[in-house]
Amino acid sequence: MGFPGTWMTESESMVYRVVPKCACSTIGQIMYRSDHGQFFDGDIHDAQEGLHKWAQERSQGPIADNVTAHKSLVFTCVRNPYGRILSSFFDKICGIQRNGRRYRGNLVPLLVQKYGIEVGDPETGFEFDQIRSFRRFLLFARDTIRWRKPMGPDIHWSDMSGHVSTLIRGGGRYDRIVHTEAFNAGMGAVLSHAPLRHPVDLGAMPRFNESEGHGPRRAHPVEDFFDDLCMHLVREVYGRDFELFGYDIDDPSRRDPVREIDLDAVHARLAA
């Protein structure tokens, strides 16, 4: 299996398991800057040098050696599942991607045909019923996760626990799991325990949201998108995420975590 989705600084100061839609662009840029004294010019997901990534064959040996021997601080970052699935909808389903096209080519037409989803159009200001379309998308996301129909789940809306578990099942162990809702405090603790080549000022650096400005803005509070059926679907597919990462499954309006993460419980639960 190895360590899919794992990034490591070239200096091996820290190891990060990417969880999509959880500040991964910003974290990757922080790692790059901590080694090179500057941010990567472009989307960090496109970087082929300056950062070890499991997807690059040359990086797999160094990452595997480091993680299995636990040579460096290992961390990941998670997000409230209600906010994360909404972000996935507005970015990947409604938004225009950085290549100027819709995400995954025929995905949006499939959703329009089979689930009756509307996504709007940039020419008309992305005008559509956001709540109705999101609720239909959530049904689709549930179908992909539970039944793998009409396709397998996408990394952007598959559960965070599944992403986090691969490093554990490969023999690794996390030192910290950061909440995006308390990003500066959590990432600051990571940086304070890693031997950085260059300091990183979290308060002064930009946020690298690669999807911002390429799709509709959310027009309603988070809680308005989740009626009783939606909350049931969320509980069905993301219940483990709420339990392990300390979020309130009963209140979509409660963005912040309600308790600290028990790392021992995370490792015990996800090791199997």
Instruction: Tell me the domain boundaries of the chain.
Output: 82-154+213-238
Average pLDDT over residues 171-179: 98
Which of 7-16, 35-44, 116-125 is predicted with the least confidence, judged by mean pLDDT?
116-125
**Are 225 and 246 in contact, with CB atoms under 8 Å apart?**
no
Q: Does residue 123 have a pLDDT over 90?
A: no
Whole-number pLDDT of residue 107: 94
Average pLDDT over residues 100-127: 87
DSSP code at position 268: H
pLDDT on residue 213: 57
By the 10 Å C-beta count (0-12 exposed, 13-18 middle, 19+ buried), 225 is classed as: buried
pLDDT tens for residues 191-217? 999 999 999 999 998 878 755 557 788
Cis geometry, peptide bond prior to residue 150 (ω within 30 degrees of 0): yes
Task: From 174, 7, 195, select the one nearest 74 (Cα to Cα).
Answer: 174
